[in-house]
């Protein structure tokens, strides 16, 4: 995992260095610069694979091309074998992308299994690509002189350009052929209606997704809140790794604490816990919002415990697995229960497509704030595609509307009943924040202030005093009016 930057002008070293400096938290292990007469590339490295030989920007042996890459390619060992081991001078997954590109500059991306954002320069040409669901971030912009800018985070892009846009997930841009979509979550009618078939398909794909995400040259652990998603992730990880470190956070009154310890003892993980106070959470808000690059109420709420969790985990491991994405795939939110089957299916597709600037943004920013890589097995493309073949009637079961019912049936075989049928609790609530932040905002902001300040753009409104509190902090750190189009808005608040 890393931070990448670049400008489509040669010798822009000072500007790219400023961009890299704002990404140093993403790459505390090293950095590199490269330029020719057409492009300047910068990279901040978090070493995960090939600790000694994976420095970037990386070039091919003939000097034709250079790459800066953020992410992990999980099938890189197999791709190396297909390409021929004798072609490689490093053990890194980065070099695999470069060789694939040289064989097929456009179609190569469809052979990659992983999370990624990268740029490849060849002469006066550039190619940018982002993974199918946008697990890894990428932003682009055009300067007044016409030059092109890209970076892993908004703040870095703003160092070089006022006009910043998000690069869309599942797309590849070539300066020769333009922008093209290579992946679209557009499922057809569900057809896996048999419960046992659906269970088996989920279990097999989740086990494979977790297994390949344990590959690393550094220690790997797992986030464990004691909820269904993190507990399943930990259970599958424990099949393949021992000892396994698990991590949880909460206030002293957090309902998650008991469940996390229960799962840890059941699975036999080495469990680590951090207990924080509401006062700490409030004091952390400016730092959390600066890293998060958002003021969305639901994101900020969950980002605070996520921030403490990543900080805790980074003291023991360099990579952690998370249960992110399960609620979107398997109908885990309360607000979904009132929807008709057709509307529910459409909503699940929408919120999964939107993850790149909602929960995935929070997951990426809070972990990378501490130089921790987080991997999300539920968002493996094979599992995502399978999940949308399962009818919503198996996800949100009638008549009681049990959320993630089919996933609970998978868990019945491998987790305690108290965990399997535990009611869904949002991370911020389970981690002990509850309504504390909303109550704090109520004291800080009057009704008149909220009425006066709630409209922040043409037809864009803040939804609560709590969100206004976050927006005020965001506005102090970023040009808020310019960045409104980049701010994802969570449907479940």
* Angstrom distance (rounded) from CA 164 to CA 258: 44
Closest CA to 227 of 428, 492, 410, 425: 425
Cis peptide leading into 27, omega within 30 of 0?
no
* Angstrom distance (rounded) from CA 456 to CA 204: 46
Residues 6 or more apart whose CB falls under 8 angstroms from that of 461 comprise: 454, 455
Q: How many helices (H) and strands (E) does the chain have?
A: 20, 19
Closest CA to 67 of 147, 29, 122: 122
Check: CB of residue 160 under 8 Å from CB of residue 481. Answer: no
Check: CB of residue 238 under 8 Å from CB of residue 267. Answer: yes
* Angstrom distance (rounded) from CA 239 to CA 121: 41
DSSP string, 280-321: HHHHHHHHHHHHHT---HHHHHHHHHHHHHHHHHHTT-SEEE
Please say if 161 is a catalytic residue: no
Residues 6 or more apart whose CB falls under 8 angstroms from that of 353 comprise: 133, 185
Check: CB of residue 10 under 8 Å from CB of residue 37. Answer: yes
Q: Annotated catalytic sites, by residue? A: 2
């Amino acid at each position: 995992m890393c931070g990448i930057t670049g400008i489509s002008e040669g010798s822009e070293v000072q500007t790219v260095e400023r961009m890299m400096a704002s990404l140093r938290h993403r790459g505390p292990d090293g950095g590199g610069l490269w330029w020719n007469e057409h492009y300047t590339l910068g990279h901040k490295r978090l070493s995960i694979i090939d600790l000694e030989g994976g420095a970037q920007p990386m070039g091919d042996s003939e000097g034709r091309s250079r790459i800066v890459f953020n992410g992990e390619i999980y099938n890189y060992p197999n791709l190396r074998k297909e390409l021929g081991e004798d072609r490689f001078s490093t053990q890194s997954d980065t070099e695999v992308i470069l060789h694939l590109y040289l064989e097929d500059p456009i179609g190569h991306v469809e052979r990659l299994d992983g999370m990624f954002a990268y740029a490849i320069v060849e002469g006066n040409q550039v190619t940018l690509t982002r993974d199918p669901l946008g697990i890894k971030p990428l932003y682009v912009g055009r300067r007044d002189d016409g030059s092109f800018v890209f970076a892993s985070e908004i703040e870095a892009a703003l160092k070089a350009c006022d006009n910043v846009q998000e690069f869309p997930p599942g797309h590849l841009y070539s300066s020769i052929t333009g922008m093209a979509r290579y992946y679209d979550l557009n499922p057809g009618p569900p057809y896996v209606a048999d419960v046992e078939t659906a269970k088996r398909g989920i279990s097999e794909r989740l086990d494979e997704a977790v297994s390949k995400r344990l590959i690393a040259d550094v220690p790997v652990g797992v986030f464990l809140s004691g909820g269904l998603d993190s507990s399943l992730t930990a259970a599958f990880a424990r099949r393949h790794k021992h000892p396994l470190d698990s991590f949880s956070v909460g206030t002293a009154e957090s309902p998650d604490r008991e469940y996390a310890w229960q799962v840890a003892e059941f699975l036999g993980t080495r469990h680590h816990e951090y207990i924080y106070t509401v006062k700490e959470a409030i004091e952390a808000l400016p730092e959390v919002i600066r890293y998060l690059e958002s003021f969305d109420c639901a994101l900020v709420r969950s980002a605070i415990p996520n921030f403490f969790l990543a900080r805790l985990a980074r003291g023991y491991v360099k990579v952690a697995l998370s249960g992110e994405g399960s609620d979107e795939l398997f109908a885990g939110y309360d607000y979904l229960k009132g929807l008709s089957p057709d509307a529910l299916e459409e909503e699940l597709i929408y919120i999964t497509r939107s993850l790149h600037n909602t929960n995935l943004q929070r997951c990426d920013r809070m972990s990378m704030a501490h130089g921790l890589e987080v991997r999300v097995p539920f968002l493996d493309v094979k599992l995502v595609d399978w999940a949308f073949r399962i009818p919503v009637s198996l996800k949100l079961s009638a008549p009681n509307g049990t959320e993630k019912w089919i996933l609970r049936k998978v868990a019945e075989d491998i987790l305690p009943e108290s965990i399997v049928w535990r009611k869904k609790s949002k991370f911020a609530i389970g981690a002990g924040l509850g309504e504390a932040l909303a109550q704090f905002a109520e004291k800080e902001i009057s009704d008149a202030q909220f009425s006066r300040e709630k409209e922040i753009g043409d037809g864009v409104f803040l939804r609560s005093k709590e969100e206004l509190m976050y927006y005020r902090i965001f506005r102090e750190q970023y040009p808020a009016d310019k960045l409104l189009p980049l701010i994802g808005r969570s449907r479940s608040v």
